[in-house]
Amino acid sequence: MGASAVFVSLLIKPLSLTHRPWECVCLCCVHYRFMREALYTGANSHLNFWFKVRELLLRHLWLHPPNTISLAMRGFFSMTPDKLNKQRQSLRKSLRQQRKALTPYTQTEHALGLDKQLSNCSLFKRSKRIAAYLAADGEIDPVFIIENAWRSNKKIYLPVLAPFASRLYFAPYFANSKMKLNRYQIAEPDVHPKHWLKPQQLDLILMPLVGFDKTGNRLGMGGGFYDRSLSFSHFRKTTSRPYLIGLAHQLQHIDKLPHQAHDVPMHMIVTEQELHIRK
């Protein structure tokens, strides 16, 4: 039996008990869309993925019984994939322009404020293996955080692209590290792959972003590298390492970020002004 057939068979039985045929079809379409996005992140390698989707669907049926399901479906389909992508692209363009317009003086002030905010965070204090990044495109700069970590005998890692996959590993980074450019012309530590770590081996990952909201949703540059590399976090039953913290200028905060099923939310966002803990 093909994967799609298994998916439908897992869903139809509970639906047929409580919903009309057309509602069954609509709900299956919704979760088939979720399935396709999850396959994009590599989640199909997990056998329990199908049962996770089924669990989410049954939870949806409990919250939206037959007399209200039509309204719920209408609200869902009002945001098509094309419309969602266009909205995200528009936000991405606007927010990138705003952060790139910041003066060097303001960037330095924000970087110092970021270091002050994060240095007092308990997650940072107890973490030993920390992934960071080298700022570009107006991103808030974690340079003072990196220096602070070195002084505290913490180990810093930078993301590196796997040669034949669109996923990230993390290489050790020191003040005198030899660097090289990857295929996107981004500097990476030039170290042998045997020294690379998987995300699960880190305590804390500090991630750049373009936009964020109060629920921890993150808008990236659009490449999906972090989301693919951290897709395992969707299946974690408890909060555990690596903890995910997004770093941003306060101006990158928006009320509600349109997000996709494969987006990986942050545990916290830190700006030069405050800590935004996911609600």
Domain boundaries, the chain: 3-78, 91-277
pLDDT at 272: 97
pLDDT at 42: 47
Q: Which two tokens stand for residue 10?
A: 């897992």
What value does the mean pLDDT take over residues 236-265? Answer: 85
> Per residue in 38-71, pLDDT tens?
444 444 444 455 455 555 554 555 445 444 444 4
| DSSP structure string for 75-113 | HHHTS-HHHHHHHHHHHHHHHHHHHHTS-HHHHHHHHHH
Q: How distant, in Å, are the alpha carbons of 3, 4, 77 from that of 33? A: 14, 11, 11
Q: Which two tokens stand for residue 47?
A: 């056998």
pLDDT at 9 over 70: no
pLDDT at 231: 85
pLDDT at 62: 46
What value does the mean pLDDT take over residues 127-138? Answer: 97
> Per residue in 94-131, pLDDT tens?
999 999 999 999 999 999 999 999 999 999 999 999 99
Greatest mean pLDDT range, 23-32, 125-134, 180-189, 256-265:
125-134
Neighbour count for residue 265 (Cβ, 10 Å)? 19
What rounded mean pLDDT belongs to the chain? 80
- Cα–Cα distance for residue pair 199/129, rounded to 1 Å: 10
Could you tell me the fold of the domain covering 91-277? Answer: Rossmann fold (3.40.50)
pLDDT at 164 over 70: yes
pLDDT at 2: 54
Range in 58-72, 86-100, 133-147 the model is least confident about: 58-72
How are beta strands 268-270 and 243-247 bridged, if at all? Answer: parallel
- Portion of the chain with pLDDT greater than 70, in percent: 69
Q: Which two tokens stand for residue 56?
A: 């989410």
Tell me how far the alpha carbon of residue 237 is from its chain's centroid. Answer: 17
pLDDT at 206 over 80: yes
Q: pLDDT category, 257, cuts 50, 70, 90?
A: confident
Q: pLDDT category, 75, cuts 50, 70, 90?
A: very low
Burial class of residue 21 (count of CB atoms within 10 Å of its CB; 0-12, 13-18, 19+): exposed
- Cα–Cα distance for residue pair 28/51, rounded to 1 Å: 14
Q: How distant, in Å, are the alpha carbons of 112, 167, 168, 184 from that of 163? A: 35, 9, 10, 12
pLDDT at 99: 97
Range in 14-28, 231-245, 251-265 the model is least confident about: 14-28
- Cα–Cα distance for residue pair 185/276, rounded to 1 Å: 32
Q: pLDDT category, 72, cuts 50, 70, 90?
A: very low
Among the listed residues 106, 95, 114, the one whose alpha carbon sits nearest the alpha carbon of residue 221: 95
Buried b or exposed e, range 90-110, using 16+ CB within 10 angstroms: ebbeebbeebeebeeeebeeb
pLDDT at 39: 46
